[in-house]
């Protein structure tokens, strides 16, 4: 057989047409022509196109508990590369778009169930009649920044485009309070905790009740998410709801109205203060929320401008983001010298450097450890106990569905509640690494794109059906 060499320029052209490089193209061809490629694709599809799957090696055996007969056995020995790939589960879109998309979907359903009710998720539909608002608590000013005011012209004299990298950066870096900005981010969780305390006090005061009496007749429930503004400051978006004392299944008292909740939120936000003691060269300061507190009622069945679906979608969108909007990195920074190797905007770099400078003054706040998050060390999405279902419960439903599917494929009973102990499962798994080769990454990204396109198409089709809740089956 005569082998004709492929000109290098042809290889480079083929790689460029695919948006990759010759080495990655060669690896793609290797993967596509290797034995078991179909099974590799199946594994990737089962992970949802995960960008950094966890690779496992091992085996599992299912036996009849009484007879000891082997009902099913599985080993990774015959899998591609001798490994099984499972999704990494990372919520960050910058790390794994596919797993982040799943996380956002779970967050959407968690938030939406607390707004509209969903019996499948343990929330009664009567919550639609409860006072519900969408509140935003922002950071104060740490100095003027480039922005796009209603007048259209920034204080610098320019009219910035939406994608102008100057937006959010300090007009005068020398006078900007970078220390205050990262300390605010670092204490944002404390500010929120105190806000929830004051909110209950403000509601009780407006109802003419003590806090103990309030607990007997009304419960405050919330689900929130953190978002980084362009300037690098954290602010919180929250769905806040008033229920009866036992939670969403009970109606709140007649005095619990949306205007009362609105007024209480604004008053509580204004009262919150977190003192930070002086340390080293840094003076004592008091951290507070910004003066811009936005509270909007959430519409039932579209009766308000801010719809239930819009709120849930908005919260879910930011549940998968961190500080990437500021140009920072999505991993920890081991030492300041690393910054010289990173393409960081000047404003973002100054915030990171402020974290390291403050770390010696406030070692208990772990500012250097969280410098890549500009000092923020809290959870991006949290909820009160009775607001809605949990992310864990949503994951368990998905896991149970897959388990029943696999048991059906194996010819086993789909009953997962083996209370009588009729089967015995013995498993041994070993961590074998994480991630793809360059060629696998490109192929996996293509699979992930197809999966997402198919899901979005299905959602759009189901959204046109008479019952809009039907589209949830595609979550």
What is the CA 347 to chain-centroid distance, rounded? 25
Residue of 183, 159, 154, 184 lying closest to 170 (CA atoms): 154
Residue 450 CA to residue 45 CA, distance in Å, equals 10
> What is the three-class DSSP state of 311?
helix
Residue 394 CA to residue 417 CA, distance in Å, equals 18
Residue 110 CA to residue 342 CA, distance in Å, equals 37
In this prediction, residue 327 carries a pLDDT of: 81
In this prediction, residue 369 carries a pLDDT of: 95
Q: Around Cβ 469, how many Cβ atoms within 10 Å?
A: 12
In this prediction, the residues of the chain whose per-residue pLDDT falls under 50 are: 1-4, 6, 301-303, 462, 465-475
Residue 223 CA to residue 190 CA, distance in Å, equals 16
- Contact in structure between 232 and 374 (CB atoms under 8 Å): yes
Characterize 291-305 residue by residue with b for buried, 16 or more Cβ atoms within 10 angstroms of its Cβ, and e for exposed. Answer: eebebebbbbeeebe
Residue 32 CA to residue 23 CA, distance in Å, equals 14
In this prediction, residue 475 carries a pLDDT of: 33
In this prediction, residue 4 carries a pLDDT of: 43
Question: Across 347-438, where does the E strand assignment appear?
Answer: 381-383, 423-434
In this prediction, residue 303 carries a pLDDT of: 45
- Residues 271, 276, 277, CA angle at the centre, nearest 5°? 135
């Amino acid at each position: 057989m005569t082998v004709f060499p492929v000109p290098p320029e042809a290889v480079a052209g083929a790689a460029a047409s695919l948006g990759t490089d010759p080495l990655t193209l060669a690896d793609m061809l290797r993967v596509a022509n290797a034995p078991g490629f179909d099974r590799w694709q199946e594994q990737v599809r089962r992970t949802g196109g995960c960008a950094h799957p966890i690779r496992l090696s091992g085996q599992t055996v299912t036996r009849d508990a009484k007879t000891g007969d082997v009902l099913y056995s599985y080993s990774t020995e015959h899998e591609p590369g001798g490994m099984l790939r499972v999704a990494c589960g990372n919520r960050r879109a910058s790390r794994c778009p596919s797993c982040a998309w799943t996380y956002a979907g779970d967050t959407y359903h968690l938030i939406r169930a607390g707004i509209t009710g969903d019996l499948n998720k343990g929330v009664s539909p009567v919550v639609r009649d409860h006072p519900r608002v969408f509140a935003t608590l922002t950071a104060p000013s740490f100095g003027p920044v480039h922005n796009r005011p209603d007048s259209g012209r920034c204080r610098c004299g320019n009219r910035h485009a939406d994608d102008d990298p100057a937006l959010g950066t300090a007009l005068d870096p020398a006078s900007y309070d970078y220390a205050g900005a990262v300390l605010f981010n670092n204490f944002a969780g404390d500010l929120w905790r105190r806000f929830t305390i004051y909110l209950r006090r403000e509601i009780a005061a407006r109802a003419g009740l003590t806090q103990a009496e309030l607990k007997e007749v009304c419960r405050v429930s919330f689900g929130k998410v953190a978002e980084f503004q362009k300037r690098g400051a954290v602010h919180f978006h929250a769905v806040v709801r008033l229920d009866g004392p036992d939670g969403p299944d009970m109606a709140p008292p007649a005095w619990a109205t949306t205007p009362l909740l609105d007024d209480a939120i604004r008053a509580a936000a204004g009262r919150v203060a977190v003192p930070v003691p002086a340390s080293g060269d840094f003076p004592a300061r008091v951290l507070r929320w910004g003066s811009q507190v936005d509270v909007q009622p959430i519409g039932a069945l579209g009766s308000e401008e801010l719809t239930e679906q819009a709120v849930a979608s908005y919260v879910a969108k930011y549940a998968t983001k961190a500080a990437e909007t500021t140009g920072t990195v999505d991993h920890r920074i081991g030492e300041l010298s690393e910054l010289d190797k990173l393409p960081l905007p000047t404003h973002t770099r100054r915030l990171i450097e402020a974290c390291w400078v403050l770390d010696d003054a406030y070692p208990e706040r772990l500012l250097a450890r969280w410098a890549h998050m500009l000092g923020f060390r809290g959870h991006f999405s949290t909820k009160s106990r009775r607001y809605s279902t949990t992310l864990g419960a949503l994951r368990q439903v998905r896991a149970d569905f897959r388990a029943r599917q696999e048991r059906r494929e194996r010819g086993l009973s789909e009953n997962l509640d083996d209370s009588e102990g009729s089967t015995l499962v013995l498993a041994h798994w070993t961590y074998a690494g994480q991630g793809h080769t360059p060629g696998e990454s490109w192929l996996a990204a293509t699979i992930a794109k197809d999966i997402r396109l198919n899901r979005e198409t299905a959602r759009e089709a189901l959204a046109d059906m008479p019952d809009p809740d039907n589209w949830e089956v595609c979550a």
